[in-house]
Amino acid sequence: MDIKAIMMGLAFVLIWSSAFTSARIIVADAPALAALALRFFLSGVVGVAIARSLGQSWAFTRAQWRGIIIFGLCQNAAYLGLYFLAMRSVEASLASILASSMPLVVALFSTLFLHDRPKPLAVAGLVTGFVGVLVIMSHRLSAGSDVVGIVMCVIGTVALAIATLTLRSTGAGKNVLMVVGIQSLIGSSVLIVLSPFVDTYTLNMSGKLVFAMLYTTFLPGLFATWLWFKLVERIGTVKAAAFHFLNPFFGVAIAAVLLGEAVTRWDMIGVATIMAGILAVQLSKA
């Protein structure tokens, strides 16, 4: 793996992991789904506009449109919609840990539904990773974490895994930014319809909220998604997904530094276990 790919992977991990902290700030002062719909609308419009200025096309095949729509629904509407709702009561560190288990879910789904035959190392990694998730969840639940919020995160992680598997059929090629923009607009259109049925429309405007919205819109929302596509294009899905093993650590660390969230011994044990499990799964595919 070349240096540029490593730098791209580390940048993606840092931005992806920080998104949970910025989302926690947003949902504390704004309606969750409405804020997320606005984020997707802004990143979608900007993404499509930049893509058009670069000569990118939205003339996709039927199979590509199907992949784009499924990805937009699963990642933007389902995964992030559920996580934004959950983080009204769930800590950013716990949300980032649950989301970071996505590679384990992808590996499990590949085994169950795509008939991939896992190597012994992959099986050991799956078991180890899920044990780590259970350690953290049991500790957080005993400490009073919201059960409904955790269930939302779990369902959202499954949706993210489905979106990741769908990525294989998208084939964005040179139109990556266009795909990212369209997927954002798909997510926005779904969430704005759901918002009146779910949100409480109270808004506490502040500089912190504005900064968190702008950051979430253009870095995790636009740049990180584009970066992920380019990383997969450069080194392949398996090698790119290996960077996810760093997400639990960075997600917890960023939430602790910026939000002051407590990190317990059980959290550290669980994070280390999940990281080991994800790494084992990815190494088994090398």
Residue 124 makes CB contacts below 8 A (sequence gap 6+) with: 280
pLDDT digits (tens, 9 = 90+) for 8-56: 889 999 998 999 999 999 999 999 999 999 999 999 999 999 999 988 8
pLDDT > 80? residue 282: no
Residue 150 makes CB contacts below 8 A (sequence gap 6+) with: 86, 90, 94, 98, 137, 140, 141
Distance, in Å, from the CA atom of 212 to the CA atom of 27, rounded to the nearest integer, reads: 10
Residue 48: what pLDDT?
Answer: 93
Residue 6: what pLDDT?
Answer: 86
pLDDT digits (tens, 9 = 90+) for 57-74: 888 888 888 888 888 898
Residue 32: what pLDDT?
Answer: 94
Residue 117: what pLDDT?
Answer: 79
Residue 189: what pLDDT?
Answer: 95
Kindly state the DSSP code that residue 30 receives in the 8-state scheme.
S
Distance, in Å, from the CA atom of 78 to the CA atom of 152, rounded to the nearest integer, reads: 10
Residue 164 makes CB contacts below 8 A (sequence gap 6+) with: 102, 106, 237, 241
pLDDT confidence bin for 286, thresholds 50/70/90 = low
Residue 223: what pLDDT?
Answer: 87
pLDDT > 70? residue 1: no
Distance, in Å, from the CA atom of 86 to the CA atom of 83, rounded to the nearest integer, reads: 5
pLDDT digits (tens, 9 = 90+) for 59-116: 888 888 888 888 889 888 999 999 999 999 999 988 988 888 888 888 888 887 777 7
- Residue 262 phi, psi (nearest 5): -70, 140
Residue 115: what pLDDT?
Answer: 74
Distance, in Å, from the CA atom of 47 to the CA atom of 50, rounded to the nearest integer, reads: 5
- Lowest model confidence (mean pLDDT) among 4-8, 141-145, 200-204, 239-243: 239-243
pLDDT digits (tens, 9 = 90+) for 154-200: 999 999 888 877 765 555 667 888 888 998 999 999 999 999 999 99
Residue 111: what pLDDT?
Answer: 80
pLDDT digits (tens, 9 = 90+) for 206-249: 999 999 999 999 898 788 878 887 887 787 766 777 787 788 88
CB 217 within 8 A of CB 30: no
Residue 63: what pLDDT?
Answer: 82
